[in-house]
Amino acid sequence: YYEGELIGTEETASGTKLGMDGYMVFGNEFDSYGGGFVDDDSFGGELFKANVFNRELSSEEIKEMNSEGFCSDVEEKYGRTRYLKWSDFLLEERSGNVTEIDVGCGTKRSRWDVLFLRSFYNKVLTKELLESLRSNWNVLG
């Protein structure tokens, strides 16, 4: 999924289990067990709020998480179904050229958070967009 839309799938045989000494890697691929990383295979971009669930989520659930935006806590409603949380990953050791940035969510939302909604985020500023923004200004209460 990318921005709430399915872009591809890969199936794993039913009953496949990850051993207790397994690895999870974001941003590169193993060329050998536990390492062998090649810089040319590195991810370049931003990764935010990656979570691992112990069940397959429906496309509706994924779309909801995306539409709620960066600053939502919609994933909290999944409880123990959310097996690994984004906050867990942030505590782990990182290597390579990794920069952690503050996206400005904080604990209190403001009306400016509407700019992070999919309708407005990263869009070209036009008269129509400004009119839409004015009509949605109170979306967040």
pLDDT tens profile 76-113: 888 888 888 888 877 887 777 777 776 667 655 555 55
Amino acid found at 50: A
> 35 has which bridge partners?
32
Cα–Cα distance, 9 to 32 (Å, whole number): 24
User: What mean pLDDT comes out for the span 32-58?
Assistant: 81
Lowest mean pLDDT among 2-16, 47-61, 70-84, 89-103: 89-103
How wide is the angle at C-alpha 68 spanned by C-alphas 63 and 74, nearest 5°? 90
